[in-house]
Amino acid sequence: MDKKILITAALPYANGPIHIGHLLEYTQADIWARVQKLLGKTCYFVCANDAHGTPIMLSARKQKISEQDLIDKIKKEHIRDFNDFLIRFDNFHSTHSDENKYYAEDIYHKLQKKGLIKNKNILQAYDEKEQMFLPDRFIKGTCPKCKAQEQYGDSCEKCGTTYDPCDLVDARSVLSNTKPILKESKHLFFDLSQKQDMLKKWTQEGRLQNEIKNKIKEWFDGGLKDWDISRDAPYWGFKIPNTDNKYFYVWLDAPIGYMASFKNLCDKKNLDFEEFWQKNSKTELYHFIGKDIAYFHTLFWPAMLDGADYRTPTKVFCHGFLTINGEKMSKSRGTFIKAQDFIKHISPEYLRYYFAAKLQDSVEDIDLNLDDFRFRINSDLIGKLINIASRTAGFLKKFDLTLSGVLDNEKLLQICQNKKDDILQNYQNRRYATAIRKIIKLADLTNQYISEVEPWNLIKDDKSVARVHNICTTCLNIFNILVIYLSPVMPALADKNEQFLNLKPQNFNDTDGVLLNHKINKFRPMLQRVEQEQINKLIG
Ligand SMILES: [Zn+2]
């Protein structure tokens, strides 16, 4: 029997808009979740806003609204963006929720009971004017090594040196522009090194990509350090039980947000939370994340879960970053593209298709080259896939919009049907680019066949009119199969196709059947070409 599956994508921070860099991951995870569902598996795909931390507190102050109002507003915007890009979560929650508070405290208490939490006094940069401790990102100054100006408190963007904020030349608080002092404070730490044996085993059980395993080896070699899980007031987050003015660091309760969102879904849908999260659960748990947060998800998170007697993730899937035209997204080059900017000019499904056509199971970066993007959409989708229907559907008017009872080329149809397992295997292994290449190859074969039989000539001769009917029936059956293969990537196209071919919602099993003597609807263009002008507007 298939195991039940829980899938998560990283929680977007509730302090700004969704941009297309974010959408790379949500698209990757959404395609995978849709594949599981189209295979008929019991699968839940959950996410939430990461709604705590100093940046949200300061952002709310600046806008003169409460943190709650800010995160509520951002949550609405994020949900709208995910809907627009066809990211179909079963639940989208917030880390600022009762469920998350409950599980954060629960895990903390269990870790404390096992002696995994310890206290240490640390010296931290403090802004006397604002009366608050400063995160590294809120301190700027001159790099002590290369003397580059305006560098953050943790590392230099010019020369890459990492340092303590107090090492900066002329360090100043970005909040008050005053020089921070060092002040002592008691912090709570998670003693990660106690979980070293567990983690060494866990990371070698086929849960991680090789690139990530190599990275982890470096981390082990460098020694596992205690993790500071507390922050001093003022802070926007959950207060740590039995303390006066200490809060959980945002990264402590962020991954717990996966549990909280699922718990919220369980309460709505009457599902069994324990079945998914108890130690030795028989269900599967998959996290999709960017490679930059691998440390949190492959060391802290499984160690915390194991320490608190919960199940650990089955696998963690990391992806690379998105570059645009070969460079980092940049506001000055116009390539910092927000989801809402994209949708104003170009169909969101095209971005899904392009990402899928480039995504494999590695952590390599993905480049969105806008010339290549336009070329791929126009060539693959319009010129090859949609072309199959647009070259043949028109003739069906002559046959009362009803498919024939006979195929002209059964062999070609079978070739397409027989590719199913191969294509599904590639989806399952997150080699979407390979799956797409195989689908488009089948579209090529079909177009070649149409060009060879020339239905537009056959229709002129009464003796061959019946054959045209069979040719079109073959081609529209193939078109249907290819659209089903593509449906995890392009679900809206699948909907349009179902309307056109007069079908109920389809899944992968429907590719085995053949539509004969079946009434269809009039063909209407399903996708439009991408013009250079649209691209210019997008980055203009
Ligand atoms: Zn430097």
Could you give the CA distance from residue 474 to residue 315 in angstroms, rounded to a whole number? 41
Distance 22 CA to ligand 1 centre (A): 29
Distance 164 CA to ligand 1 centre (A): 13
Pairing of strands 246-248, 230-232: antiparallel
Rounded to two decimals, the pTM is 0.96
Could you give the CA distance from residue 400 to residue 30 in angstroms, rounded to a whole number? 39
ω into 17 cis (within 30 of 0)? no
In this predicted structure, what is the pLDDT of residue 406? 97
Could you give the CA distance from residue 439 to residue 479 in angstroms, rounded to a whole number? 11
Distance 130 CA to ligand 1 centre (A): 28
pLDDT digits (tens, 9 = 90+) for 380-403: 999 999 999 999 999 999 999 999
Could you give the CA distance from residue 430 to residue 379 in angstroms, rounded to a whole number? 24
Could you give the CA distance from residue 313 to residue 202 in angstroms, rounded to a whole number? 10
In this predicted structure, what is the pLDDT of residue 268? 98
Distance 124 CA to ligand 1 centre (A): 21
Distance 151 CA to ligand 1 centre (A): 8
For residue 1, name the pLDDT band (cuts at 50, 70, 90): low
| Token couple for 492 | 């809206």
pLDDT at 252 over 70: yes
Distance 169 CA to ligand 1 centre (A): 11
Is residue 78 within 8 A of residue 215, CB to CB? The reply is: no
For residue 155, name the pLDDT band (cuts at 50, 70, 90): confident
Distance 20 CA to ligand 1 centre (A): 30
Phi-psi bin for 138: left (phi > 0), alpha (psi -120 to 50), beta?
Answer: alpha
DSSP assignment letter at 194: G
Q: Which of 91-100, 167-176, 263-272, 390-399 has the lowest mean pLDDT?
A: 167-176
pLDDT digits (tens, 9 = 90+) for 90-137: 999 999 999 999 999 999 999 999 999 999 999 999 999 999 999 888
Distance 221 CA to ligand 1 centre (A): 26
Residue 28's Cα: distance from chain center in Å?
A: 5
Distance 143 CA to ligand 1 centre (A): 5
Distance 56 CA to ligand 1 centre (A): 28
Distance 148 CA to ligand 1 centre (A): 5
Distance 142 CA to ligand 1 centre (A): 8
Distance 156 CA to ligand 1 centre (A): 5
In this predicted structure, what is the pLDDT of residue 477? 98
| Identity of the amino acid at 194 | Q
pLDDT digits (tens, 9 = 90+) for 294-341: 999 999 999 999 999 999 999 999 999 999 999 999 888 889 999 999
CA dist list (Å): 242 to 105, 191, 346, 367, 498? 11, 19, 52, 49, 58
Distance 171 CA to ligand 1 centre (A): 14
| Token couple for 179 | 């020089």
In this predicted structure, what is the pLDDT of residue 36? 97
pLDDT digits (tens, 9 = 90+) for 443-496: 999 999 999 999 999 999 999 999 999 999 999 999 999 999 999 999 999 999
Locate the DSSP E strands across 12-100: 43-49, 91-94
In this predicted structure, what is the pLDDT of residue 166? 80
Distance 136 CA to ligand 1 centre (A): 15
Distance 478 CA to ligand 1 centre (A): 59
Could you give the CA distance from residue 286 to residue 264 in angstroms, rounded to a whole number? 18
Angle between helices 67-84 and 54-62 (to 10 degrees): 100
pLDDT digits (tens, 9 = 90+) for 224-246: 999 999 999 999 999 999 999 99
**Which element (helix H / strand E) includes 120?**
strand 117-127
Share the mean pLDDT of the chain: 96
In this predicted structure, what is the pLDDT of residue 118? 97
CA dist list (Å): 256 to 13, 15, 107? 14, 19, 9
Percent of the chain scored above 70 by pLDDT? 100
